[in-house]
Structure 1
Amino acid sequence: MSLPPPAVDQQFCEISAIDSGSIHRAPLGQFIDVAKVDETADLPCLAFVLRHCRTRDPFVFDLGIRPDPENLAGAIAVITKMGIMVEGRDIPAVLEQGGLSRTDVKHVAISHIHFDHTGVPKAFPNATFLLGAGAKSVIETQGPDFEGTIYAVDVPFERTNFLDPSTEEWVPIGPFPRALDFYGDGSLYIVDAPGHVPGHINVLARTSANGGWVFLAGDSAHDWRLLTGEAKVGHHVRYGCIHEDPGNAQETIERIKALAGCPRVRVLLAHDVPFAKQNAKEGSGYWPDKIVSL
């Protein structure tokens, strides 16, 4: 298994992480099967901004937790009942502090519609929003309050594309059977990543002209032990599994593990504790700094 080699004059993306909030006292047993009873974890939330090396097109992946989490509608009741505490971030303000205006963001891809990834889409007035097609029926049937769930999303439908991985434009790449070459030049692929919730998508992007890659795994895995083989998908005694389809989720994890074995591929999780511990204090790799390509 391999990834496509670079072409002549290969285009790629620069990438930066964004501190997009944090979750405190998350029940770890929802994520991994080796967690102790009632063990909890504090999790960072990461979003990302990618910039095409030639066009400089700003592509944002995920929007984190909105800065006013008390307005999370149905989700706030669920997470409060579970004893979870959350902190949000003003992502447009963070980008602007680093020199990128919210009005210049052309594309925002949302990995899935859980509250800690959807932020405030309408704060980006000129962006087209990209969601997996599976999210559309959930939004239409359960929105806008999504009571009894941890869904929370308010995308402007007139500026939203629901991407259907069953169409012919989606082709295999590496270990993944369905991916969309977004710019058409092999620099950024949107990857179908089923198992977590309907419409879950990941991003695979080149980070250099000579063979570097990054894989943004969203919530395909919440804990690195799922990728090292030290754990499998968990089922909490009270709250169940964080994935709506655990079988497909484990299959996606196995695909990411295969990808991680390829040369010069960096995998980053939305709740990447090791990355945050290593880099957050100094801001290394966080916007406007860039993550170094492998």
Structure 2
Amino acid sequence: MDSALTTVGLPLALGIIMLGLGLSLTPDDFRRVGRHPRAVAVALACQLLLLPALCFGLVTLLDLPPLLAIGMMLLAASPGGTSANLYSHLFRGDVALNVTLTAINSIIAIVSLPVITNLAIDYYDRGDTVDLQFSKVVEVFAVVLVPVALGMLVRARHEDFARRMDRPVRTGSAVILAVLVLGIMLDQRDSIGDYLAEVGLAAGLFCAASLVIGYVVPRAAGVREEQAIASSMEIGVHNGTLAIYVAVEVLDTTEISVPAAVYSVIMFVFAALWGAAISRRIRADGPARVPAP
């Protein structure tokens, strides 16, 4: 499961996509996020508190085997993946908020991921411990922030070019996303049926709940539409590659990585369907409001 597709191909493709996302951003996007800290605080509360509690209730209700339950909790503790930025971009979310949340979550995960995972291991009476390596945090920063910064630099120096590239980049991003989803499914074709039977229901319910919570809770807290979309994608699209890495390379237990592998396939489909549903609702309600400066 820890294949070249997930560890090399996916980060490389998303790094290219992040460059395109940077073409749509300006420094004022980040300053606006700083002027609206509520969105960041609500999203982090959902990510760090609500999701682990929800996941624990889910695995307990479904009575998953211990190793699969630990894998689900490891997944819940993982920060948002770089794909969240892509989905937010495709469905008109606040990409600057996504980039900010990804950066903050990746730092917090140094502490939160081992704590949550170790609590699950202790609960199920396993004798392992987990320690997230700093190199994985650096990897997330590299895949997300460096290409975005390059794209922003291009926009700052060639704004007309960046604006002209907006639609082609969105179209190309959708195509790349479809290729990645197909590649992941083909890569896992020999085992995907068994994995879905073991943990598919839990992964599917958790993915759907994460996406909905990430949108509904911020909206209820008064967060703007485009920031709620960004929060939904950040919370619903977990860093499955990181969870698989920790399970296989740190905990040395392949079965613990099964929930993340299954979730990584499900989330691409669910996030796309959820984003399309939100977009249709927004169009039905009329033109979106222009964000406050």
Query: TM-score range, shorter-chain basis?
Result: under 0.3
TM-score between the two structures when normalised by the length of structure 2: 0.26
Higher helix share: 2
TM-score between the two structures when normalised by the length of structure 1: 0.26
Higher strand share: 1
